[in-house]
Structure 1
Amino acid sequence: MKHIFGTLLVLTVLVITIASCKKLALQKDYDYKASVYSSKINQSLWDFMNTRSDLFSSLVDALNYVDPNATGIKKTYMTPDAGTTYLLLTNSALTDITNANSYWYKNLRYSADSAKWVLHGSDWSQYNKDTITEVLKYHVLKGDYSLRNVGGVPIWAPTYALSTTNDSAYINLQLTPDRNAFFYINAYTGSPTGNTKARTPDLHLNGGVIVHVLDTYMQEPPRSAIHN
């Protein structure tokens, strides 16, 4: 008898529950609006650099120092060709002497007092203009090298520093073939900068210009690395 009563009680509760569920309104379709991340920046390269002085004031200063009349490398930054790729160097990459990978940290100045190359840089005028010009040209790539066409296989891209007297001015590029998809620059075996990844990769500016922002300046590879 107790078993029959228990069974009836369970059935009663089940019926009530089902009846209650029928009264609940079904969830309506949610009007979901998909969005796509855009890396497009509606500025010219030169305007972008100058409006972000917190990042690129050192780069602008270096260009003004080596090419004040904008007839050479500075002109390349002010009026870039479409489809050109720029590795924009931040203040950290160039003049921050607390960064062991910055240009001023790695390239010592001569101290007359101690007759040694011991001083870190403190002003662009302390450096040879031709040397700085070559550094700046090395960070401009001949062609479109964006996330659309750089894959998991490393490639060597020619730079504006490439010439008949300098056949090693190539940049190594690779997008790691994993879920992180880091954009690496000069991450070849033996690179002095190690596995350097772009701080901000794949920015597309007006005029078909591609930009990858770096916190480390790149150094030209040895010829053996390119052949390997």
Structure 2
Amino acid sequence: MNIKKLINRLLVLFALSVFITGCSVFGLDLQEDYDYKKSLLEEKVNMTAWEYLKKRADGNNPNDTVFRWMKKAIDYSGIDTLEYTKPNRTYIFLHNDAIRRVNGSQVLQTNCFFYDYPIISKNPDGSVIFTTPTSGIPVTTTPTKSWKDYDKETVKKYLLYLIGQGEYSYDNLDQNEVTLQSLLSPGSVATKESRLGYMVTPSSVPGFTTASTGTPAVFTFDYVGNNGKGFDPEGKFTLKLSNTADSKLFFNGGLIVRSSNYRATNGTIHVWGVTVRPSR
């Protein structure tokens, strides 16, 4: 072996030794025992739920208005906004998509409140107009475009249903379903201008039940009788975590959370991006 080749090999060995040492110096150890510890994100927003909603509805950032349509409901309904500042609460917030989901052409899409609860066309006597006299399927107006298409008191009741008494987060939730009393008074009923007023809630008809096992509840609608109530008869909702690695949060048995565990100074906020039906 000539001197030149020997020197080149020595230089290569030297460079490798420097690299290996450098890995340790810069915190890049080649092998290290590490016990993975699962943790759930806890985002402290350092403000009240009301301040957080306003900030992300019509704040200074035009690219972050995800709660704009929820705030429109609050403004229209006249609900006391102090309810969003009181302590020991669980707040269900609605992403814009949960209320008004549209495509690039601004056409209303499925699985949002405005689509699932359209305004019902009626005869002069107040009876529902059906597509055919015997179909039992109501004729609806053009898709809902504004909260003002609904009765103001019904919108207020809906918002009250989305505020739970008691604070529930990943600290005290698990796979066992927890039932919360909302601010909605027991026995509350939705008005009949929209499909919501005809939704049959679990206790409206004897023997009627809904699923609460991780699949969306199935509701029926009564357009001719008096069984439609719209709201949970007790004004209650449920929360639980899925028994999976990501511990998804479920509302009323089936609705999977969009994002969760935002810790406001007066409670915990969980956000849904699909229609939140106001009954178990």
TM-score w.r.t. length of structure 2: 0.58
- Corresponding residue number in structure 1 for 2:45: 41
- Corresponding residue number in structure 1 for 2:264: 205
Q: Write out the 4+ residue segments of structure 1 that deviate beyond 6 Å after TM superposition.
A: none
1:123–1:29 distance in 2 versus 1, CA, 3 Å: closer
- Corresponding residue number in structure 2 for 1:196: 255
Q: Is the 8 A contact 2:177 2:238 kept in 1?
A: yes
Q: Is the 8 A contact 1:87 1:214 kept in 2?
A: yes
- Corresponding residue number in structure 1 for 2:95: 90
- Corresponding residue number in structure 1 for 2:69: 58
SS in 1 for 2:237: strand
What is the distance in 1 between the residues matched to 2:51 and 2:115? 28
What is the distance in 2 between the residues matched to 1:93 and 1:40? 23
Residues 151-170 of structure 1 correspond to what in structure 2 (within 5 A)? 151-163=174-186, 167-170=233-236
RMSD across aligned positions (CA): 3.2
What is the distance in 1 between the residues matched to 2:244 and 2:148? 44
Matched residues, number: 188
Residues 90-169 of structure 1 correspond to what in structure 2 (within 5 A)? 90-96=95-101, 98-111=108-121, 116-163=139-186, 167-169=233-235
- Corresponding residue number in structure 2 for 1:11: none
Which amino acid in structure 2 is aligned with residue 85 of structure 1? T
- Corresponding residue number in structure 2 for 1:76: 83
- Corresponding residue number in structure 2 for 1:217: 275
Report the structure, 1 or 2, having the larger helix content. Answer: 1
Which amino acid in structure 1 is aligned with residue 46 of structure 2? N
Unaligned runs of 5+ in 2: 1-12, 30-38, 58-64, 103-107, 130-138, 189-231
What is the distance in 2 between the residues matched to 1:157 and 1:132? 20
1:177–1:110 distance in 2 versus 1, CA, 3 Å: closer
How big is the shift at 1:28?
4.7
CA deviation map 1:119-173 (0-9, x unaligned)? 3211122110111111111110000110100101112111111436664321121
TM-score w.r.t. length of structure 1: 0.70
How big is the shift at 1:46?
2.1
1:161–1:96 distance in 2 versus 1, CA, 3 Å: same
- Corresponding residue number in structure 2 for 1:17: none
What is the distance in 2 between the residues matched to 1:36 and 1:85? 18
Residue identity over aligned pairs, in percent, reads: 18
